Every structure is written in C-alpha cells, then in structure tokens.
A = this chain, B = another copy of it.
Amino acid sequence: MPESEPPIALDAMGGDHAPHEIVAGAVQAVREHGLSIVLVGSPRVLYESLADHDATSEIPIVRAEEALAMDEGALSSLRRPRSSIAVACHLLRRGDASAVVSAGSTGGVVATGKLRLKAQQSVLRPALAVALPTRPRPTILLDAGANAEVKPEMLVQFAHLGSAYAETAYAMDAPRVGLLTIGAEPEKGNKLAKRAHELLKATHGITFIGNVEGHDLLSGAADVIVTDGFTGNVALKTMEGAVRYAFTELSESISASPMARMGALMQRGRLRDLSRRLDSEAYGGAALLGLNGTVVIAHGAAKAASISAACQLAATLSRRGIVARIGERLATGHRPHRLW
C-alpha cells in the first residue's frame, strides 16, 4: 500500500453491534489485511474499545459525538451534520479518507452520502449494488434499495454502474447485464421494465443479454442484474429469507432422527462454512455507486468479520478507481440520453 493512500473512514457508531464489533472489525482489517483505518465516533468510547484490543496506537480516532440511530431515516441525516457518518463523508470529501464504510441504517447512510458527497457528474441516481454469492463468480444486483421509484433511463445507468462495479471489484470482462422482470420475452413486465428493455437494447458499452427472472439471481445467468430499488430490495430480502428458511428446515430435519443426527455431526463443519458463505453477513456490504467517492454499507447486524470484509471491499473499489471508471462510462458516448 503506497504511503500516500489515505485511510478508510469507518463509521464506528452505526450498526446494531456498534461500537464494539465495529472496532473489532477495524482491528481485524488493520492486522490481518494491512488496511489503514480511521474510526469516526465518540473518542472516549472508542479509545476504551481499542484498548481492549491493545490497539490504541494502531488506529486513529476522529471525533463525532452524534450518531444516527438505526431507526432514523433519510431526513434525520439532514438534521445531523455532525453525525459519525456525516463526519466520515466529510473526511472523504476533503481527501483525508479514501472511502467510507458504515453499518448504519441504509436510508440514513444513502441520504448522508448523497448530501455530503453529491452524485457524480451525469449520474441521475446513485444506486446500491450487492454481490450475490452466485458461483463460480458473483452476480451484482442493483438497485438493492436506494431508489424505490425510478425511471427507465435510470435503469440504463444502473447497467453502467453495475458493469463498472463488476469490472472493478471482480475483474470481469464485458459483464453480461440482465433486466429483472417476469418473463423472458421483451414485452413481459410492467411499463418500467418494458421501456427499460428497449433502452438497454439500444445502449452501447454494455453487454445486454435481455430479461432475467427471480430465479436467475443465483443461477449465474447474468453478471449484473438491474432493477428498481423496490423490487431489488424485496428480491434481496426474499432471497436471504429463503436461504435461512431452507437451512432451518434442514437443521430440523437433521435433528429429527438419531441416525440422521449422527450424519449431521459429520457434516457440521461443512454446513457451517456453507451457511456462512450464503448468509448476508458475508456479502461484504453493499456499494453505494455513483457518488464522488467510495461508500460501502455493511449489513446492520454486521459483526467484526463483516466489517473487515466491507473495509476490504471499500479499499479494492477505491484503489482500482471505481469512481473514475463510472465517470468514463457515462462520459464516453454511453450516456442513455443519446438515445432519445
């Protein structure tokens, strides 16, 4: 890591397990992955927490006495210019941080990020991108919840944002973009999807493979799947719920007979690995794409390992220049408004 690279600003006060799991995640990111981190939050509390890890000399603290509560939404971010997430964004904006990571409420982080960092030039709406645990390589779903109401041309931009993300974070070449809807034929779907299909087909610079359906989120049929933030959020949570359900059912089924229980013991390690990989905990966080700076939102229930993973994702996106790549994509003739 070059000496000149600024640290990642980690919002230490956001998340169900803040600040202790956040601090533990920071320590893990620094010690195990060599990242440079600055914690943003209440110095007294954070100093004590760092002391528990003997890490007071390894990780600096930037003061922010306020914090957004997990149930505070978009509006509260306007009322709290000194919240830990606002201060973290401020560090990024003035070049004292290379990226922001927060496990705070999605609505609050999105609103604060948009307010403090502003959308990149030409970006109509920043969007939340999540990497689903598809194999052999992840599928990027966006928008996962930043925009409940969108227009067709925004979905075209999401295709660019998602393609840039797939290229940057996963070194994918010409990522295949699918449109999430309710049938393979171009005329299947609601008005938004039908119009977006036409626009995507006519857009240069993305590899549009057509419509995909709900079961394709984990089938590997597409590398990037675009949809509005309402549908994307429902689909993401449905997926998490269904995977959790399948494992619960399985555990009950396993513990129901002594013979099966014996078998289960033998498999426990593998099951645990699998479950961890599938769990939303391990996604490493959602990237808020289209802002003037890299912002990663970890799961609200994130513990140390997830926080560390989110910091790694933020570092990768920042080092490989996701913001510049999105800028290039939207500037070099790939703008959807060329189409009409």
Contact A249–B278 (Cβ < 8 Å) = yes
Cβ of A142 to closest chain B Cβ, rounded Å: 14
In the complex, chain A residues 172-215 whose Cβ is within 8 Å of any chain B Cβ: 180-183, 185, 189-191, 193, 213-215
With A and B bound together, what is the CA distance between A73 and B188 in angstroms?
10
Q: Judge whether A137 is part of the interface by a CB distance below 8 angstroms.
A: no
Q: Report yes or no: B253 in contact with A270, Cβ–Cβ below 8 A.
A: yes
Q: Size of chain A's interface in residues, with CB distance under 8 A? A: 60
- Judged by a CB distance under 8 angstroms, whether A333 is at the interface is no
Minimum Cβ distance to chain B for residue A287 (Å) = 18
Q: Is A1 an interface residue (CB 8 A)?
A: no
* A2-10, A258-266, A308-316 - interface stretch: A258-266
Q: How far is the CA of A11 from the CA of B237 in the complex (A)?
A: 36
Cβ contacts under 8 Å, A246 to chain B: 242-243, 246-247, 278
In the complex, whether A245 has a CB less than 8 A from a CB of chain B is yes
The distance from the CB of A31 to the nearest CB of chain B, in whole angstroms, is: 30
Q: In the complex, what's the smallest C-beta–C-beta distance from A108 to chain B, in angstroms?
A: 12
Tell me the interface secondary structure of chain A in the complex: helix
Q: Mark A199-237, 1 if CB is under 8 A from B, else 0.
A: 000000000000001111111000000011111011111
Partner of A235, one of B190, B234, B249, B278: B234
Q: Is A51 an interface residue (CB 8 A)?
A: no
Chain B residues near A107: list those with CB within 8 A.
183
The contact of A270 among B213, B234, B241, B256, by CB within 8 Å, is B256
Provide the bound-state CA to CA distance between A237 and B190, in Å. Answer: 16
The closest CB in chain B to the CB of A71 belongs to: B185
Which residue from B191, B213, B219, B266 sits with its C-beta under 8 Å from A234?
B213
Pairwise interchain contact A270-B257, C-beta atoms closer than 8 A: yes
A149 within 8 A of B: yes
Shortest beta-carbon contacts, A-B, top 10: A263-B263, A214-B237, A215-B241, A214-B238, A242-B242, A246-B246, A263-B266, A182-B233, A218-B245, A148-B190
Q: List 29 A-B contacts (CB under 8 A).
A: A145-B182, A148-B182, A148-B189, A148-B190, A180-B234, A182-B237, A193-B230, A213-B233, A214-B237, A214-B238, A214-B239, A218-B241, A218-B242, A234-B234, A235-B238, A239-B239, A239-B241, A239-B242, A242-B243, A242-B246, A243-B245, A246-B278, A249-B274, A250-B274, A253-B267, A253-B270, A257-B270, A259-B266, A264-B267
Hey, which bits of chain A sit against chain B, CB under 8 A? 73, 107, 145, 148-149, 180-183, 185, 189-191, 193, 213-219, 227-231, 233-247, 249-250, 253-254, 256-257, 259-260, 262-267, 270-271, 273-274, 278
Known: A181-B234, A217-B242, A218-B241. 15 other contacts (CB 8 A): A149-B191, A214-B236, A214-B238, A214-B239, A216-B241, A218-B242, A218-B245, A231-B234, A238-B238, A253-B274, A260-B267, A262-B263, A263-B264, A263-B267, A264-B267
